[in-house]
Structure 1
Amino acid sequence: MRLKRWGQRGLVLTVMALAAASCSSGDGADGLIGDRGRQLEEGIPSINDDPAYGRYDEPITIHIGFKIPDEKNTTGDTNDNNPVSRYFERLTNIKVVHTWEAKRDEPFTQRVNLAIDSRDLPDAMVVDRNQLRKLAENEMIADLTEVYDKYASNLVKAMYDSTKGIALQDASVGGKLYGLPNVAIEADAPSLLWIRKDWLDKLGLQPPRTFDDIERIAEAFIHRDPDGDGNRNTIGLPGLKKVVHGQQKAGLNGFDTLFSAYRAYPKNWIRDANGQVLYGSIAKENKEALAKLADWYQRGIIDKRFMLYKEDQEPIATNRAGMFFGPWWAPYWPLAEVVSTDTRAEWRAYAAPLDHDGKFITHMSPMTDRFLVVRKGYENPEAAVKLLNVFTRLERRQDPNTEEVGKLDDFSARTGVQLRSYYPFDLLLDYADAITQRYVNVQKALRGEIDPASLDPDMKLIYEQSVAEREAPKKNMDGWKAAKAYEYGGGALYTTDMVQVRGIFYGTTETMETHWSSLQQLENETFLKIIIGDLPLTAFDEFVLQWKAGGGERITQEVSAIVNGHG
């Protein structure tokens, strides 16, 4: 699978699963039955002794709405009866029953909406931001404030604490905690400028800081044959048809960082200089950014064929691009593909361009977007918290039952099914600053400043892969991916003094439900056409007027009412 689809953590876990499989006893993923299963259960404290990880003395049942995994298990197990579900049941004495199932995001969201509209909720399920608000306002879900305080594990609490209160605040309504949120990695939001350092060195160029630097590098890459093949088929800067990724996490080829350097934040809801709610795409600063992009496109600084890409990674994977905007994890994808075919490629990440004050500006993606809620009236609301505890501990490789975990990893390696696909809830947690944490500590271990044995499992794996990469550069692509993603991507983020701009609203309003699609189409088409010269720069002013008249003004009022506590 590609990182584009499921992110760097899935790749890391697959590597760990394969490693664990190679040293497992191989006598079955569910080899916990019989004596070993009973020994596991007998070694678990009672819930009264350990609220977070203790086992119920008597079995209880929790009915959930389940999101079906994309992977197909060919072992004969089912979504609610498999090695992962059986392991969690043995740990907790909680029987998870699927009230209903739905595959993929949109069908799952529709099924949740149906449950809400019919007021027929399972005991627990994962909801989005709008659904959480509706459930809380209609008093359909439990207040989890005290349950969280008593039953959440130290690991879960530490991850929420790493968000500086944002995650739990997002899950609260009227000062009460109504959901347990996921936690996104902050590093996934900024878009860095990745450049082939070997091309820079060959052409005698310095790394970029400003717009002018990027322009000079792009022109050199276009005209000075940096790959030395004489074909002159290299390009400057790749582009993206939708122009920016906006509220989403960083992806390939978006121009978000260029807009941010002008203090423009398209597709994000922000406050203007007077504290008023403003949709970032209509701010006047966008016009300056569009003027620069249109100029670059006309002069060929931006690849004039970018609208013809079938896949975003196309010019990168074919070695025509020596620079692009992308996330910290780009070495996992698409750069591993590039380096495997051209071992001369040396990629580095830079926080550029800086704004006129010499600062790197980035908008941030939502800290949370999913919430685990519990039906009001369910007798054991803490059961949902306890399940979150055990699968988060497993996901972060901190489960102390090493033999049993090894068998689960073996199951995953044999079937190709990620363990997380069978967690009861699609709700992954990590530390908000996980990437810079790992960068700092792994670098210290590599320099001999700390003992590698002191690293947590995630960091230890990265350390081991980095050591392997140093000993045999580019011989093991798994080692190269991890080493370069954290050393260069994570390093650029850690060493850069960033100005982080957070959106103030990520939900949906009533008018958005009927007008947002057409407004987004208007915005995307206008921005793209201005850049490629099909519309003059003055079309931006007309766009703002059309956006407001087409429902944008009303939507702004609705968003303002919500964020100011009046809606």
Structure 2
Amino acid sequence: MHEMKKAGLTSVALLSALSIAIAGCSGSGDKEQPQQSVKPQESAKPQDSGSANGMKDGKYDPPITLTTVRAQQPTVKFANGDSIENNVWTRAYEKEYGIKLKTLWAVDPTQLEQKMNLTIASGDIPDFFQVNATQFKQLAEADLLADMTEAYNKHASEGVKKLMTEGGDMALKSATINGKLMAIPFTSPTKEGSQMVYIRTDWLKKLNLPEPKTMDDLLAISEAFTTKDPDGNGKNDTYGLAIDKDFGILIGFLNSYHAYWGINVKDASGNLTYSTIQPEMKNAFKKLQEMFKAGQIDPEFGAKNMTKVYESIANGKIGMFYNGPYAGLYPLQAAKDKDPSMEWKAFPLMSVDGKPAKSQVELGVGGYWVVKKGVKNPEAVLKMMDFWLKTFYDNKSDDIYKEFNTSPVDSNQVWLLNAVSAYKSFKNVDESLRIIEAFDTKDMSKLTPEDKGVYEKIQKFQTGDLSNWGWNLIFNKGGSMSVADQYRKNDLYINNEFITTPLPSMIEKGVALGKMEFETMTKIILGQSSIDEFDKYVEQWKKQGGDEIIKDINEWYKTTK
């Protein structure tokens, strides 16, 4: 079901890219390998290693040496005399923990997967390294990986354990095989990136429309934005709702109808089923067909990717669109730069009925940190992870930020030299809450150096600098991160329950099924097919391999319980 996933994840990939600009971090988007969940010892505290290399004052004594391989970001500049093997991060690992690193090879990120595949195929792997889900599965099946269960239970700090579980237990489940934790997940902020709806509030004001509270309100706004000339140019040239050809920015709309695109969800019996063939999807596309017929959707949407849609937004042709919480920076800041009178606001998903609308989310894992079987000190990876957590996230020192995170002189992203990392599930939501509190209390003592940078950007906006408008839209009170926080507080998510690599039947049948899916749904919106064509699509989807895929997915699902 590769093509089906592609559309559903388009916006997620975009949000991951935007997260770099906001948070200084991102993850790759590979699929994940699961099995039964590891049972962490919640009360366990980090312990010193009992190996031949003893611990003294929190350090290995004598020091240990671990080999690794990695990507080397071409944008990172080294200080004089520094290298991938000798830099501020590697020196800190040795100073703090007695861990020396030897990098066997480092390549451009574009070459990483191929180089890693060659290394894995040779069987001569380093002591620890990061892999994608497919590579993780290959290594586990070849019995080349250390069981990390004991190391995690005994040596992971409480902070690291919180990092691993902040987005739920599925990340650790995906790294667990036959009850054993075989890797440390490279977590990513999937839930934080859930879609919300952005609305032109200057158009609301012009048309004397209140902010929406229900889905009916939202649909009425879409109609008004289409028919009542909100831009005042006397032409019928505006659209209520934006859609792209891959449906990447349609996900939030579908979720408002309790319809979920291209994922596997639990049915009433507790088994997994494919979300796109459910009757809720038919209801959502029926409404989209009505909106298209009424002129509320660009008739050329089927030929426009998200970049083209964003051009329409910047050109003042769109009144409403769905996106993640980072849209204030892209695409909306560029739109604001072009038309300073334009105003937007993010609103939570609104439900078509009395049940809360929930956002669909993928597994928040971008890869896996694995340790070679037989390594004497596998817990060393967790110590370096703890150093990452304290240095990248918890630090409030400007000097440490400049040294380990981002240089204020040339914006050199030194943090990319870390050897082990993972990303918080709600990093930017928490940052927003701290910034809002600082504005309310005038107390900046709880802000990290990065928080202060955003705080200052919002201050500049408040004094008339519109180039920082997007930061205010994201991080200030009532902004998009406030909506994301509302989702978190109320657990408004539907998980894709399929968290392993694609099964053989999915690889064999998925492309053809995905093509049929897009063609059918696009024709329904355009009015070229009756809404009843949806029922025929479901029937054909099942006959042409869908039933086989669902059967195989449930066979896999049984092994995870």
Assess same fold via TM > 0.5.
yes
Kindly report which structure 2 residues correspond to 1:303-452, keeping only aligned pairs within 5 A, or say none: 303-309=298-304, 311=307, 312-357=309-354, 359-396=356-393, 398=395, 403=399, 405-408=401-404, 411=407, 413-414=409-410, 417-425=412-420, 427-430=421-424, 432-448=425-441, 451-452=443-444
Q: Deviations over 1:273-297 (max 9, x none)?
A: 2222101122232122121112211
Specify the code of the residue in structure 1 equivalent to 2:530: P
| Closer, same or farther: CA 320–352 of 1 in aligned 2, 3 Å | same
Q: CA deviation at 1:68?
A: 3.5
Residue 270 of structure 1 aligns with an amino acid whose one-letter code is V
1:390-443 per-residue CA deviation (whole Å, 9 max, x = no partner) reads: 23333225176x5454245565853x6533432224x4321x343443344433
Q: Secondary structure at the match of 1:140?
A: coil
For residue 9 of structure 1, report the CA deviation from its aligned partner.
4.2
Among 219, 237, 240, which residue is 2:241 paired with?
Answer: 237
Paired residues of 1:271 and 1:278 also in contact (CA < 8 A):
yes
- The TM-score with structure 1 as length reference comes to 0.81
Aligned length in residues: 514
Name the counterpart of 2:282: 287
Structure 1 residues 330 and 115 mapped into 2: Cα distance closer, same or farther (>3 Å)? same
Choose from 480, 485, 488 the match for 1:489: 480
Q: Which consecutive residues of structure 2, in runs of 5 or more, have no partner in the other structure?
A: 1-12, 26-52
Cα deviations across residues 15-61 of structure 1 (Å, max 9, x unaligned)? Answer: 9xxxxxxxxxxxxxxxxxxxxxxxxxxxxxx98355xxx44344433
Letter of the 1:193 partner, please give it.
Answer: V
SS in 1 for 2:100: strand
What residue in structure 1 maps to residue 494 of structure 2?
A: 501
In the other structure, the counterpart of 2:553 is 559
Residue of structure 2 in register with 1:35 after alignment: none
The aligned residue for residue 276 of structure 1 is 271
Of the structure 1 ranges 331-340 and 203-212, higher mean CA displacement relative to structure 2 is found in 203-212
Partner of 1:521: 515
**Distance in 2 of aligned mates of 1:394 and 1:67:** 21
Asked whether the 8 Å contact 1:242–1:528 carries over to 2, the reply is no
Corresponding residue of 1:65: 69
Name the SS for the 2:492 alignment partner. strand
Does residue 539 of structure 1 match 2:522?
no
Amino acid at match of 1:262: Y
Matched, 1:11 2:50: no
2:69 pairs with 1:97? no
Q: Does 1:188 align with 2:192?
A: yes
For residues 223-254 of structure 1, give each alpha carbon's deviation from its aligned partner in whole angstroms, at most 9, with x where no partner exists.
333233445533221111112x4xxxxxxxx2
Shift of 1:489: 0.6
Measured in 1, the distance between the counterparts of 2:529 and 2:124 equals: 51
Structure 1 unaligned residues grouped into runs of 5+: 16-45, 246-253
Once the two structures are TM-superposed, the CA of residue 194 in structure 1 deviates from its matched residue by 0.4
**Is 2:537 the partner of 1:548?**
no
Within 5 A, what are the aligned runs for 1:203-222? 203-222=207-226
SS of the counterpart of 2:259? Answer: coil
**2-structure distance, mates of 1:348, 1:298:** 27
Match of 2:32 in 1: none
Distance 2:265 2:23 in 1: 36
Q: Secondary structure at the match of 1:360?
A: coil
Residue 40 (structure 1) aligns with: none
2:473 aligned partner, one-letter code: K
Residue 186 to residue 226, structure 1, CA distance change in 2 (3 Å): same
Q: Percentage identity across aligned positions?
A: 27
Distance 1:522 1:102 in 2: 39
Q: Distance in 1 between matches of 2:467 and 2:355?
A: 36
Q: Secondary structure at the match of 2:123?
A: coil
Aligned Cα root-mean-square deviation (Å): 3.2
**Relative to structure 1, is the Cα distance of residues 85 and 413 closer, same or farther in structure 2, using a 3 angstrom cutoff?**
farther
Between 209-218 and 69-78, report the one with greater CA deviation: 69-78
Q: Does structure 1 residue 477 correspond to structure 2 residue 472?
A: no
1:127 is displaced (CA, Å) by: 2.4
Q: 1:123-143 CA distances to partner (integer Å, 9 max, x unpaired)?
A: 112223344344334432111
Distance (whole Å) between structure 1 residues aligned to residue 470 and residue 443 of structure 2: 23
Distance in 2, Cα, partners of 1:219 & 1:203: 12
SS of 1:344 mapped into structure 2: coil
Q: SS state of the match for residue 513, structure 1? A: helix
Measure, in 1, the Cα distance between the counterparts of 2:556 and 2:22.
39
**Distance in 2 of aligned mates of 1:359 and 1:114:** 48
CA offsets 1:340-371 (integer angstroms, 9 cap, x no match): 23222221111233131152222122132421
Contact 1:210 1:352 in 2 (8 A): no
Mean CA deviation greater in 261-270 or 121-130: 121-130
Compared CA separation, residues 334 and 503, structure 1 to 2 (3 A): same
* Mapping of residues 450-461 of structure 1, within 5 Å: 451-461=443-453
Distance 1:177 1:275, change over 3 A: same
User: Cα–Cα, structure 1 residues 58 and 403, in superposed 2: closer, same or farther, change >3 Å?
Assistant: farther
